[in-house]
Amino acid sequence: MRIGFDIDGVLSNFTIAFTTILNEINPNCPVLSDNTKVFDWDYTKFLPVTNQQINQAWGVIKNNPYFWSSLETIGNLNPVIEFVNKNSYKHDFYFITNRPNTGGISSIYQTINWLRSRRIQDPQVIETNKKGTAAKLLRLDYYIDDKVENCNDVAIDNPKCKVYCVDYPFNKHTSWDIIRVASVIDYVEQIKKELER
């Protein structure tokens, strides 16, 4: 089997890091603990921030060479880590992200370090904004993301892939046969059940 994971919003908590930076720029902006409090990808639609402040926050991120490698995990990832490491000799695991380089350090390098620091052995990281194309070229059997557009692209470009979406307020509008799950742990549990058949 070939199994794919998005990173931010699935494994790592981008939201708390990003809103912490926004709060430093604008103290009226609350720090959000996770994606369950994100209602739109456009933060100006539900937070007291401007596009200029969002651009400032991205400027802070782009100057930080350790931003991606410093993110917190979303919950306890031990079941996911155990599953990946236990099965990496017979299944292929890919971590697919669309992160920009920051502080002159490659986003792939930072992501590999982040995964290794979580005890994932020899992670294969791909950086692309064309996740459907990546899923097709990698011939993925399973893929999880939190962005509906990415899920839809994978479903279109690789119809044989079982596509999962982490259920958040901002991604309720899936238009393809996407399987919604509460977390990446649920995704792994469903794959394990299918592998046991």
**Chain segment 16-27, per-residue pLDDT in tens:** 999 999 999 999
Q: Are residues 44 and 129 in the same domain?
A: no
Q: Are residues 91 and 64 in the same domain?
A: no
**pLDDT at 176 (0 to 100):** 66
Same domain, residue pair 80 and 143: yes
Whether residues 88 and 41 share a domain: the answer is no
Burial 34-67 (b: 16+ CB within 10 A, else e): ebebbeeeebeeebebeeebbebbeeebeebbeb
Is residue 171 located within the same domain as residue 84?
yes
Q: What pLDDT score does 175 carry?
A: 66
Question: Could you list the residue range(s) of the whole structural domain that residue 54 is in?
Answer: 14-69
Residues (pLDDT < 50) of the chain are none
pLDDT tens for residues 72-99? 999 999 999 999 999 999 999 999 999 9
Written as one letter, the residue type at 66 is Y
CATH of the domain at 84: 3.40.50.1000
Q: pTM of the entire structure?
A: 0.94
63 and 122 part of one domain: no
Q: How many domains does one find in the chain? A: 2
